[in-house]
Amino acid sequence: MKKILTFHEVFLWCKRQMYHLVFVSALAALTVLVTWWAIFLYQSVDLTYDTMIDGIRNSTRSYGMFLGHNPEVKPKLGTFAEDQRLEIVHKHSKPSVHSLSLLPYWQGMWLKPKDDVVTQIQEKRKRRHVMVVGESSFLLLLILVSGAMIYRMYWLEKRTTQELHELWSRVSHEIKTPITGVKAFLETLQAQDLSRDEVEPLLKLALKQVERQQQLTENMLVGQKLKRRASGVKLQPIHLNTFIQTYLESHSFPDSISLTPLDPTPSDPTQSGPSRRNITVSADPEALRIIFDNIIENARKYGGPEVKVQIGVEISGRKTAVVFQDNGPGFEPEMAEAIFKAYKRLGDELPGRQHKGTGMGLYICRRLAKQMGGQLNAWSEGKGKGAGFVLTLKHKPLREE
């Protein structure tokens, strides 16, 4: 059954689409106006030059009649003295549309506009036409391009609002979860008589939740700063291996996260053995920590607490790469770039994973890596095949070693 739309429904639809309708109408009106103006100008050019041609034709006719009816003065061949635009020619010379026979007395002669004068007028008309068509096309193009740009701005604004809404929903979940745990822990401490042995593991869990909250807050703040381009990393020479060792120790990670010993066969033969063990890179320790936190946290978020992450260091030319390889669920290879977009989270498409994380982590990491003059890329051979991240950093030449 075909549903007939009521006036009210049409009205509501128009109200919803008001911005689109007003915008499209304004653009259409402008386009029509410019087209109409172009046609008007084109026709006025025609009119102007038709009038000029008519003027010459009228002169030819009047002078021709006058000369033809005067038996006493024989017209001289060549340019007509009274009107330089005309010429008198012999009957057998090439005919012209505007030629007039000097009848009845000088039958063998014609008065006609000079060829070059007519050509000049026609060329001028052509030039004016091209000008009008060019100008109006440019104007139309300008209108359409600015229309498209305005529409794009509107669309981007709308998307940003949507993203903010989504982000807010995620952030509220991310804030509520650790608070719920910690609150339940504190309430229990208050209400129940727990032994030291019972409290100890719970304390650790609660602390982890607070750390999670801290990371979230940090990501949000860094993310906002980066969006405003106000952040600046402070580069300094960092001993990479020492940094990683200290990082792993300070985070008391389970054995699942390990540092791979350096590859004994260097990929770059110019690198000698000892220096490889003490690679110094130019980086910001704080930024480096944020990147490590996010990549490891992601691996554990998606791969569960049993996930294994291998951290390796590779040297190639003037760059050093920190490679993170996990045995988690991985992702489709074509997602390798998309995961670095702000607000994008892997698993958006999975029902259970909805609203886990803020979608800012990897975006922030890549921005930080770039600000340190490096890069951050990801790869995976497919779902279920683990994910890899490679953080490229610039070498800092060693002075003291």
CB count within 10 Å of CB 11 equals: 11
Residue 195 interacts with other proteins (CB under 8 A): yes or no: no
- Which residues in 210-227 are b (16+ Cβ under 10 Å) and which e? eeebebbebbbebbeebe
Shortest distance (Å) from residue 171 CB to other proteins: 11
DSSP string computed for 2-37: PPPPPHHHHHHHHHHTHHHHHHHHHHHHHHHHHHHH
**Alpha-carbon distance 62 to 287, whole Å?**
93
Q: Among the candidate windows 31-39, 116-124, 203-211, 273-281, which touches other proteins by CB under 8 A?
A: 203-211
Residue 356 interacts with other proteins (CB under 8 A): yes or no: yes
**Residue number with CB closer to other proteins (185 or 243):** 185
Shortest distance (Å) from residue 224 CB to other proteins: 22
Distance set, CA 97 to CA 16, 52, 112, 114, 199 (Å) = 63, 15, 9, 11, 112
Q: Among the candidate windows 58-66, 144-152, 183-191, 388-396, which touches other proteins by CB under 8 A?
A: 183-191
**Residue number with CB closer to other proteins (301 or 396):** 301
Among 98, 173, 227, 344, binds other proteins (CB under 8 A): 173
Question: Cβ distance 106 to 67 under 8 Å?
Answer: yes
Q: Of 397, 375, 364, whose CA–CA distance to 287 is shortest?
A: 364
Among 176, 234, 341, 383, binds other proteins (CB under 8 A): 176
Among 61, 208, 341, 383, binds other proteins (CB under 8 A): 208
Shortest distance (Å) from residue 176 CB to other proteins: 4
Stretch (H or E) spanning 384: none
Residue 185 interacts with other proteins (CB under 8 A): yes or no: yes
Q: Of 321, 330, 335, whose CA–CA distance to 388 is shortest?
A: 330
Q: Among the candidate windows 43-51, 151-159, 181-189, 236-244, which touches other proteins by CB under 8 A?
A: 181-189
Among 124, 308, 319, 353, binds other proteins (CB under 8 A): 353
Q: Tokens 């800092």 belong to which residue?
A: 396
Angle at 19 between CA 14 and CA 20, to 5 degrees: 80
Q: Among the candidate windows 206-214, 262-270, 283-291, 337-345, which touches other proteins by CB under 8 A?
A: 206-214
Q: Among the candidate windows 13-21, 149-157, 198-206, 366-374, which touches other proteins by CB under 8 A?
A: 198-206
Shortest distance (Å) from residue 221 CB to other proteins: 22
Among 7, 352, 399, 401, binds other proteins (CB under 8 A): 352
**Alpha-carbon distance 103 to 65, whole Å?**
7
Residue 182 interacts with other proteins (CB under 8 A): yes or no: yes
**Alpha-carbon distance 169 to 11, whole Å?**
32
Among 53, 202, 259, 336, binds other proteins (CB under 8 A): 202
Shortest distance (Å) from residue 348 CB to other proteins: 13
Indicate the burial class of 310 (C-beta count within 10 angstroms; 0-12, 13-18, 19 or more): middle
Q: Of 288, 281, 328, whose CA–CA distance to 308 is shortest?
A: 328
Q: Which two tokens stand for residue 323?
A: 């490679």
> What does the binding site for other proteins look like in residue numbers (CB under 8 A)?
172-173, 176-177, 179-185, 187-188, 191-192, 198, 201-202, 205-206, 208-209, 301-302, 304, 350-356
